[in-house]
Structure 1
Amino acid sequence: MPYEHDESREPMGDTPATEPESEPDSPGVDDSVIHTRALTKRYRGGQLAVDGLDLTVPAGSVFGFLGPNGSGKTTTIRMLMGLIEPTSGSARVLGRPMPRSARTVLPHVGALIEGPALYGFLSGRDNLVRYDAADPTADPRTRRTRVAAALDRVGLTAAAGKKAKAYSLGMKQRLGLAAALLQPRRLLVLDEPTNGLDPQGMREIRSLIRELASDGTTVFLSSHLLDEIEQVCTHAAVMTQGRLITQGPVADLASGVRGRLAVTTPDTGEAARVLKEQGVGDVVVTEDRVTGEPPDRELADINTALVTAGVRVRGFAVERATLEDAFVALTGEGFDVAG
C-alpha cells in the first residue's frame, strides 16, 4: 500500500489523539477487530472528509462499508491502515492504536486500497514475488509456492506470465487481491474489490470473500454498490458526506423500513393509475410489474380497488426492504454513486 505524501492535504486544527503507552507487543484479542472513536479527518482548505466516526467491526464478520463515492470511505481506510493520520479522534485495529502500532498490526492485515500498485514491466507472477520479498516475515524458501497458490485463488494462473501493463482493470484488481492473500491474515481490507470485474468475476470474488470469512478472517469491504454489500456481508455501516448514518447486522439495517408494494399484472398502466389514486407513492412501472411505496392503510383495500377496476392481478405483495430502501429512508435522498 503506497503512501503518498501531499502537503496540500495535511490536517489542520486539532491534534491527533494519543493512546496510552502501556500496550502489549502483539495485537490484542478483542470482540472488535476495528474500533474508532470520534475519528475525524479535515484537509487543508477546510474540507471535512470524515466527521466524528464511531465504527465497530466485529471479529469474524464480513463488514460492508457502504456509501456513495466521496462519502469518506477511502479516507477512513487510509487512516485505519496508517497511511494518513487523523486530525482528531482515535482508531484501533486488532486491538492496537493506529497509526502508532502499524509495524505490529500490518503483518496481520491484507489490504487492497485505491487499486493495486503494480510494476507494469513485470509479469503478474513476478509482481507477487516482489510483494512477498518485501515482507520480512515471509520465508523465501516457500515463496514460489505461496505466489502460485495466491494466483490460483484469484483465477490468474493462466495469465501469470503476462506483463501487468497488459492486464485489464479487472485482472489488476485480482492481482492486487492475490498480493493481499500471500500470507494468512486476521483482517482483510478491500476498497472496491470488484471494480472493473465482469459479472462472473464479481461472483468469483464474492465466493472467495465468503470462503475467507469461513476460515476465520474478518473482511472489511468498502463499496458503493448496495447490491454487492447485501449479497456478501453479515454487517454493514452506511456513510454519507463524511458521517456515519447507521451500522449493524445487514438483516437489521432495513428491518425498520417498510418494503415496496409490488403488483404483477399485464395491465400495468391501469394498475399504476389505481395505485396512485389509493395513495401509493413513487409508483414505478416495468414490463409486467408496478411497484410503489405503500400507504399507511389496509393493503387488502388497495387490492380490492385494483380488482374492481378490472386490473388482472397476478401477484400482490410487499417486498422485503433493501439496503437502498433503508438508505433513502435514513438520508431522504437517493444513492448517488457519482457523488
Structure 2
Amino acid sequence: MTESGTVVEPTAVTEPGAVIETRGLTKRYRGGQLAVDGLDLSVPAGSIFGFLGPNGSGKTTTIRMLMGLIEATSGTARLLGHTMPGAARTVLPQVGALIEGPALYGFLSGRDNLLRYDSADPTADPRTRRARVGQALDRVGLAAAAGKKARAYSLGMKQRLGLAAALLQPRRLLVLDEPTNGLDPQGMREIRTLVRELAADGTTVFLSSHLLDEIEQVCTHAAVMARGRLITQGPVAELAAGARGRLAVTTPDPGEAARVLKELGVTGIAVDGDRVSAEAPPGDVELADLSAALVHAGVRLRSFGVQRASLEDAFVALTGEGFDVAG
C-alpha cells in the first residue's frame, strides 16, 4: 500500500515468459476430498500447452482455480503475471475460455447467443460486434447454422459455438477444457487446425484433454496429472523421449518369436496375430543381435524394429496405469 492508501499488487515473481504459473496450488473440498494436491505448473508464452490426465484427475478443478471461479485451499496461481483471483478484472478480458462446455440460451440462435455474449463484455466494441460474431462463426464452421436455435444444436455444434464465443476478440491466452468433446473425427481435425492457427498468431493455448493422441498431435508442451498430482511437465518431444519405445516384430511365427525373445531377456512381450511387441531393450543391447537370434532360431521376419515412444508409453512408465487414448 502506498502512502496515499492505494493498494499495489505485488510484483510478478513468474518464470520468464510464463503465461500461467502455479505454486503449491491445492484444492480440498468439504469432506476431505483432495482434488488438486500441491500443483507447480509453468506454461510458456506462445506454447500450445496440453494439460493431460484421466477424467477425475483434477484438470477442470485446476482450470476453475486459474480462472478465479473457485478459490484455492492453499497455494498461488498467476495468469499473465497477475495473481488470481484478485486480478480477475485486469486479466480475464485478455483470456478466452471454454470450460465444461458452453452455457447457451436454447431459445436463441447461435448468432444471437454470440451477440449476447459480446454485449456483456464491457471491453467489446459494439460497432464491430456483428462483423466479429460472423467471423467467429465462420472460423469454427457454424456460419451455415448461425440462424438455427441453440437447443437444436448437437453436442459437437454446441462445443463449436462455445469456442466461437472464446474467439470473439483477440486473446493473449485461450483456455480450452476438453474442446473436442462430442466432435466427430473431422471436427476434431478442424479444431486442431484452428488451435495451431491461433498459436501461430501469437495466442498461448492451454488445452486440457484426457486424449493422449490429441495432445501429442497438436501440443508443443504438456503436463500430466493423475489423482490430483502433477506427474511430469515439459516439451512433448522430451516427455515421450523419456520413455523406452516398443520392439515391433511382424512374423508368420509369432509364438516362436515370443519364445526366443523371452529367452533373450526381453520383457513386456505381447502377441497379436502376426505381430509381436515388447519393451525396447536397453541401449547396450544390439538390435542386430536380437534379429540375428530370431533368424537363427528359424523365425521368419517380415519386419523388425523399434517404434518411437509415445506419450502413452511415458504415462504408463510414470504411473503404471493405462490411459484412454481414443481419438
When normalised by structure 1's length, the TM-score is: 0.89
The residue number in structure 2 matching 1:208 is: 194
CA displacement at 1:29 relative to structure 2: 11
More deviation, 313-322/289-298: 289-298
> For residues 241 and 25 of structure 1, what CA distance do their matches in structure 2 show?
33
| Cα displacement (A) at 1:300 | 2.5
Alignment match, 1:48: 34
What's the CA shift for 1:312? 2.0
- Deviation string, structure 1 residues 225-268 (Cα, Å, up to 9, x no partner): 11000000000001111111111111111222210101122333
Classify 1:337/1:201 alpha carbon distance in 2 versus 1 (closer, same or farther; 3 Å). Answer: closer
In the alignment, the residues of structure 2 paired with residue 48 and residue 224 of structure 1 have an alpha-carbon distance, to the nearest angstrom, of 20
Q: Cα–Cα, structure 1 residues 36 and 321, in superposed 2: closer, same or farther, change >3 Å?
A: same
Residue type at the aligned position of 1:105: V
CA contact 2:174–2:203 (8 Å) conserved in 1: yes
Distance in 1 separating the partners of 2:137 and 2:274: 45
Q: Report what 1:62 is aligned to.
A: 48
- Provide the residue aligned with 1:139 in structure 2: 125
Q: Tell me whether 295-304 or 55-64 shows the greater mean CA deviation.
A: 295-304
Aligned CA distance change for structure 1 residues 239 and 206 (closer, same or farther; 3 Å): same
- CA distance in 2 between counterparts of 1:135 and 1:84 reads 21
User: Is 2:297 the partner of 1:331?
Assistant: no
Partners of 1:251 and 1:142 in 2: CA distance: 41
Q: Which moved more, 1:291-300 or 1:321-330?
A: 291-300
How far apart, in 2, do the equivalents of 1:308 and 1:247 lie? 43
Aligned counterpart for 2:290 among listed residues 302, 323, 327:
302
Task: Name the counterpart of 1:251.
Answer: 237
Q: Distance in 1 between matches of 2:15 and 2:27?
A: 27
Is 1:238–2:224 an aligned residue pair? yes
Aligned residue for 1:320?
Answer: 308
Task: Supply the AA of the counterpart residue of 2:47.
Answer: S
8 Å contact from structure 1 (residues 259, 319) kept in 2: yes
More deviation in 286-295 or 184-193? 286-295
CA distance in 1: counterparts of 2:236 and 2:213, whole angstroms: 12
Is 2:213–2:325's contact at 8 Å kept on the other side of the alignment? Answer: no
Note if 1:83 corresponds to 2:69.
Answer: yes
For residues 84-140 of structure 1, the C-alpha deviation after alignment (integer angstroms, 9 at most, x for no partner) is 000000000001000011111000000000011111111111111111111111111
Identify the residue that residue 81 of structure 2 maps to in structure 1: 95
Q: Is the 8 A contact 1:206 1:232 kept in 2?
A: yes
Residue identity over aligned pairs, in percent, reads 82
| 2:147 match | 161
Give the 3 Å change call, closer, same or farther, for CA 304–337 of structure 1 in structure 2. Answer: closer
Match of 1:184 in 2: 170
State the distance in 1 between where 2:299 and 2:216 align.
Answer: 34
CA deviation after TM superposition for structure 1 residue 177, in Å:
0.3
Q: How far apart are residue 302 of structure 1 and its match?
A: 2.0
Who is 1:282 aligned against?
268
Runs of 5+ in structure 2 lacking a partner? Answer: 1-6
- 2:4: which partner in 1? none
> Is 1:34–2:20 an aligned residue pair?
yes
Query: Please, what is the CA RMSD of the aligned residues?
Result: 2.0
Instruction: Kindly provide the CA deviation profile for residues 144-163 of structure 1, in whole angstroms up to 9, marking residues without a partner as x.
Output: 10110000000011111111
> CA shift at 1:286, angstroms?
3.4
Question: What's the CA shift string for 1:152-189, capped at 9, x where partnerless?
Answer: 00001111111111111111110100000000000000
State the alpha-carbon separation in 2 of the partners of residues 110 and 35 from structure 1: 17
- May I ask how many residue pairs the two structures share in their alignment? 317
Aligned residue number for residue 104 of structure 2: 118
| Letter of the 1:301 counterpart | D
Q: Helix, strand or coil for the counterpart of 2:70?
A: coil
Q: How many Å separate the matches in 1 of 2:11 and 2:310? A: 43
Work out whether residues 133 and 168 of structure 2, in 8 Å CA contact, stay in contact via their aligned partners in 1.
yes
Letter in structure 2 aligned against 1:23: E
Give 2:301's aligned amino acid. V
1:85 and 1:130 map into 2 onto residues whose CA distance is: 28
Distance 1:214 1:51 in 2: 33
Q: Is the 8 A contact 1:112 1:189 kept in 2?
A: yes
Distance 2:254 2:175 in 1: 45
2:151 partner letter:
K
Which one-letter code corresponds to 1:325 in the other structure?
D
Structure 1 position 311, deviation (Å): 2.1
Classify the secondary structure of the residue corresponding to 1:55: strand
Q: Residue 218 of structure 1 is aligned with which of 204, 226, 230?
A: 204
